[in-house]
Amino acid sequence: MLKVDVADLDCVYLSYDEPKKEEFWIKIQNMVPWAKRVDSVQGSDAAHKAAAAASETERFILIDGDNMPYEEFFDITLDIKDEHQDCVFRWKAINQINGLMYGNGGMSCWTRTFVNNMRTHEASDGADENEVEFCYDPKYLAMNNVYSTTYPNGSAKHAWRAGFREGVKMCLRNGTKPSLLEFEDMVHKSNFDRLSVWHNVGKDAEHGILAINGARMGTYMTMLQDWDHTEVQWFENLDRIYNTYDPMAMPEINGALMTRLGLPVLDIGIQESKFFKKIQAQTYCASGPMTLEMDMIRRHEGW
């Protein structure tokens, strides 16, 4: 067992084009005076390698450009098991749009060795599990606790883009696109549930309807059109697709999601959305900093 104080690790703020990145950077510097910054590197794999290069410690904390950490995180100690010495840890974040709590946008702890050896996104070797995500690596561990809030709705485009990306990725199983017949059985239940939340919740948030429609459009293009879902590797591709977004086309997309994929497409209003997020927050059960998400699932479901 290795004990590591988070305060002894380098902390890298990884920003790109987030509308509030400068505001967040000031707040993070006040919270974490030793923080470093990597900005405007194109490509997810390249950006993470730039973050690893900026760190002077083998292990380092990574903060996304639209994420605001909780100060308590920097006071915790990581009790790292021997078998996890070379693993990545990703903690949950609360999504400001829809209240979901999972790894998307959350705080993470990497090793420089892991980052320099990985080949993902634009640097992928072509394996399905590496092309659009990090999380399918067996050494990438999803943790239980929430230590930050993610704000992916800094503008209409960013909210749409956040929804679109999750609308794509939540359809996949270990990075592989299922057939229509495989869809409901192949998509992991937790992803299926999160996908439905992205599709329906968030009208109370700024630009929330854009995130909802982006998620629906991402799922529609992935599952019901002849489109290469690996285009989500590049923000430039998403900017191009966003420029084709037409709210008037949404009824047709909504109908196809319901009839061809069997997905719920609901008209959840502002008050109902707020109520869902309030109830969602009450489902969170904090534990030790190094508790795995899967361990909590097993505990609650009695595996």
Asked if 158 contacts 19 with a C-beta cutoff of 8 angstroms, the reply is yes
Check whether 125 has a pLDDT greater than 80: no
Residue 2, number of CB atoms within 10 A of its CB: 11
Q: Would you state the structure tokens that stand for residue 284, as one six-digit string?
A: 């969170």
pLDDT class for 124, splitting at 50, 70, 90? Answer: low
Is it the case that residue 58 has pLDDT exceeding 80? yes
pLDDT of residue 137: 80
Q: Is the pLDDT of residue 102 over 60?
A: yes
Q: How confident is the prediction for the chain on average, in pLDDT? A: 92
Residue 159's pLDDT band (boundaries 50, 70, 90)? Answer: very high
Q: Residue 289 pLDDT more than 90? A: yes
| pLDDT per position as a tens digit, 126-145 | 665 555 566 668 899 999 99
- Digit-coded pLDDT (tens) for 219-253: 999 999 999 998 988 899 999 999 999 999 999 99
Do 80 and 135 meet the contact criterion of CB atoms below 8 Å apart? Answer: no
Give residue 25's pLDDT band: very low, low, confident or very high (50, 70, 90): very high
pLDDT of residue 196: 96
pLDDT of residue 1: 84
| Integer angstrom CA distances of residue 131 from 79, 120, 126, 136 | 31, 6, 7, 10
Out of 103-112, 224-233, 287-296, give the one with best mean pLDDT: 103-112
Q: What is the pTM of this model?
A: 0.93
Which DSSP symbol is given to 65?
T
pLDDT digits (tens, 9 = 90+) for 160-197: 999 999 999 999 888 889 888 888 777 777 788 999 99
For 53, how many CA atoms within 13 A lie in the half-sphere containing its CB?
Answer: 9
* pLDDT at residue 294, rounded to an integer: 86
In CATH terms, 2-151+285-301 corresponds, of 3.40.50, 1.20.120, 3.90.550, 2.60.40, to 3.90.550
Q: How many residues does the chain have?
A: 303
Q: Find out whether 87 and 141 touch, Cβ atoms under 8 Å.
A: yes
Tell me what the mean pLDDT of segment 200-207 comes to. Answer: 98
What's the pLDDT score for residue 132? 58
Q: Which of 35-39, 70-74, 189-193, 204-208 has the lowest mean pLDDT?
A: 189-193
* Residue ranges of domains in the chain: 2-151+285-301, 156-268
Query: Which residues in 23-97 belong to E strands, given as ranges?
Result: 36-39, 59-64, 67-69, 77-80, 88-95
Q: What is the pLDDT of residue 126?
A: 65
Residue 252 makes CB contacts below 8 A (sequence gap 6+) with none
- Choose from 175-179, 189-193, 203-207, 261-265 the range with maximum mean pLDDT: 203-207
Which of 47, 52, 43, 44 shows the shortest CA–CA distance to 113? 52
The angle that helices 250-261 and 208-224 make with each other, rounded to 10 degrees, is 50
C-beta of residue 61 within 8 angstroms of C-beta of residue 107: yes
Q: What is the pLDDT of residue 71?
A: 97
Place of tokens 């923080």: 35
Mean pLDDT of 52-65: 98
